[in-house]
Amino acid sequence: MKVAVVGATGLVGTVMLKVLEERNFPLTELIPVASEKSVGKEITFKGKKFPIVSMDTAISMKPDIALFSAGGSTSLEHAPRFKEAGTTVIDNSSAWRMDPTIKLVVPEVNAHELSIDNKIIANPNCSTIQMVVVLKPLHDKYKIKRVVVSTYQSVTGTGVKAVEQLMNERKGIDGPKAYAYEIDLNVLPHIDVFTENGYTKEEIKMIKETNKIMSDDSIKVTATTVRIPVMGGHSESVNIEFENDFDLAEVRSILEKAPGVIVVDDVANLKYPMPKDAHEKDEVFVGRIRRDDSVPKALNLWIVADNLRKGAATNAVQIAEYLIQKELV
149: confidence class by pLDDT, cuts 50, 70, 90? very high
Q: Which of 78, 139, 234, 279 is catalytic?
A: 234
The partner residues of 51 in beta bridges, in order of sequence, read 42
Known binding residue 198? Answer is no
Q: Mark whether 111 and 176 lie in a shared domain.
A: no
Q: Mark whether 216 and 102 lie in a shared domain.
A: no
Q: Mark whether 90 and 43 lie in a shared domain.
A: yes
Q: Mark whether 120 and 158 lie in a shared domain.
A: no
> What is the rounded average pLDDT of the residues 239-258?
98
* pLDDT at position 200: 98
Q: Mark whether 180 and 99 lie in a shared domain.
A: no
Known active-site residue 126 = yes
232: confidence class by pLDDT, cuts 50, 70, 90? confident
Q: Find the CATH number of the domain harbouring 191.
A: 3.30.360.10
- Mean pLDDT taken over the chain: 97
- Which range marks the domain in which residue 254 is found? 127-307
Q: Find the CATH number of the domain harbouring 104.
A: 3.40.50.720
In terms of Cα–Cα distance, which of 322, 175, 300 is closest to 240? 300
- The CA-CA-CA angle for residues 118, 122, 128, to 5°, reads 140
Residue 184: pLDDT over 90: yes
Q: Which of 7-11, 15-19, 85-89, 111-115 has the lowest mean pLDDT?
A: 7-11
Percent of the chain with pLDDT over 70: 100
> What is the rounded average pLDDT of the residues 237-258?
98
Q: Mark whether 299 and 174 lie in a shared domain.
A: yes
Known binding residue 101? Answer is no
Known active-site residue 78 = no
> Could you tell me the end-to-end alpha-carbon distance of the chain, in angstroms, rounded to an integer?
9
168: confidence class by pLDDT, cuts 50, 70, 90? very high
Q: Mark whether 218 and 103 lie in a shared domain.
A: no
Known binding residue 160? Answer is no
Give the pTM.
Answer: 0.96
Known binding residue 146? Answer is no
Q: Mark whether 282 and 149 lie in a shared domain.
A: yes
Residue 286: pLDDT over 90: yes
Q: Which of 78, 126, 139, 279 is catalytic?
A: 126
Residue 264: pLDDT over 90: yes
Q: Structurally, how many domains does the chain consist of?
A: 2
* Sheet with 234-242, side-by-side order of all strands: 220-224, 144-152, 234-242, 298-305, 284-291, 261-263
Q: Mark whether 287 and 229 lie in a shared domain.
A: yes
Helix H or strand E segment including 220: strand 220-224
Q: Mark whether 301 and 152 lie in a shared domain.
A: yes
The conformational region for residue 148 under phi > 0 = left, psi -120 to 50 = alpha, else beta, is: beta
Known binding residue 92? Answer is no
Distances (CA, A) of 295 to 126, 222, 241, 242, 245: 29, 17, 8, 10, 11
> What is the rounded average pLDDT of the residues 308-324?
98
